[in-house]
Amino acid sequence: MTKNQQTDLLMDIPQHLFCDNEPKEFVRLRWVVIAVISLLICLDNWALFYRLKPLSILALFLVSNLFLNLSSKKIFNIPFFIDAIFIIDTLFVTLILYFVGKADSDFYLIFYFLIILLVSLNQDVRSVVVMGAVVSLIYGWLLFSLGVLKTENSVHLFLRVLLIFLITLFYSYILNRANTTRQTIQKYRQLAIHDELTHLPNRRYLNEYLKFELKRSLRYKRPISFIMIDIDDFKNINDKYGHDAGDIILKEVAALLDKNKRENDLVARYGGEEFLWVAPEADKKEANSITNRMLEKIRGNVFRVNSSYLKITISIGASTFQPKKHTLAIIPEVVSKADEALYQAKYNGKNTCIYLEC
């Protein structure tokens, strides 16, 4: 499982609900806007659709989106690229209204609302407000350049420009509320699947992760190693230095394990002072390399607990699930081998690792 897949499984909801959508999503929304604009022109006056200049502008709109669709995702990372696209879209709409002679039409005002809606679905609140102001100014310029503001309906037209900006503020308010809700949901989802003390994934998430990885292991016939880690004499630490000291040790060990795992590995708190390290595509040799490295890391680390400095050790039990030997993987059974190996490591005097075949 890649880092991104772990994140998706951890959150179980899209990372961004309204802001920072994937480029493909942005392009799809832009196709919708183009289709709606074309449809509205046809519904209002079919003949307008065949005028050369507005048709040419619409064709440019289509070509630009086709270019975005075929472009690399990296182009979307260029600073202010998306903002520039929205300004170009606003100019496209403005030119269409100019050439069809519908600048003073309430019906065609919908075009600008579509652009603002597209902005609100892909940008943050600040960008929405700024782009709303830009759209309002461009529309005001269009009315002024056509001399429409000199007519008796100038107050009505001014109110229409103001309406565009007010709609922008409304979209911004909705976007802000949606982002707040999303962040709250993410916060509670995070709490539900992470251990409160160590901030590592908890058993709930671990079980889902194991289901995924074991299925993948069986499908692609690749090994997966399980490394059970237990802090030696942890009860003595609690008794001698207090439970707060024990919590500090747990957090620091958790951080050390998480820092040293491979990119696609997972370290979770299994319970008490136990941790489970899951290493996809790691065979016996790789598992032993991980365990020996972590034994040395913990032995060589000095843990500061209040005014005291402690050196601790860990015991490790490891096993590797070989899909070539199995047609079915049951989570308790594959993990139990590592647990059994850990028990033997404790029995053999601690501060060591025992490896058992799964």
pLDDT digits (tens, 9 = 90+) for 319-358: 999 887 766 667 777 889 999 999 999 999 999 999 998 7
Average pLDDT of the segment spanning 200-207: 91
Would the pLDDT of 20 be above 70? no
- Which residues neighbour 91 within 8 Å (Cβ) at sequence distance 6 or greater? 138
Q: What's the whole-number average pLDDT of the chain? A: 80
Quick: pLDDT tens for 292-302.
Answer: 999 999 999 99
Mean pLDDT (whole number) for 267-277: 95
Distances (CA, A) of 230 to 100, 113, 269, 276: 75, 60, 10, 9
Structure tokens at 72: 């690399």
Query: What value does the mean pLDDT take over residues 147-170?
Result: 67
- Write down the pLDDT at residue 137: 79
Q: Give helix 81-100 / helix 110-120 axis angle, nearest 10°.
A: 170
Residues 12-25 have a mean pLDDT of: 46
pLDDT of residue 347: 93
Predicted local confidence at residue 97, as pLDDT: 73
For 31-49, write each residue's pLDDT tens digit. 887 787 777 667 666 555 5
Q: Is the pLDDT of residue 246 over 50?
A: yes
Residues facing 357 on adjacent strands: 320
pLDDT score of 19 more than 60: no
Is the pLDDT assigned to residue 316 strictly greater than 80? yes
pLDDT digits (tens, 9 = 90+) for 97-147: 777 776 667 677 777 777 777 777 766 777 777 777 777 777 777 767 766
Q: Is the pLDDT of residue 14 over 50?
A: no
Residues annotated as catalytic are 273
Q: With bands split at pLDDT 50, 70 and 90, how would you rate the model's confidence at 15?
A: very low
For the chain, the maximum distance between any two Cα atoms, rounded to a whole number of angstroms, is: 96
Task: Please state the domain extents for the chain.
Answer: 3-191, 203-357
- Take residue 209 and report the two structure tokens written for it: 């992760």
CATH number of 203-357: 3.30.70.270
Identify any residues that bridge with 303 across adjacent strands, giving them in sequence order. 310
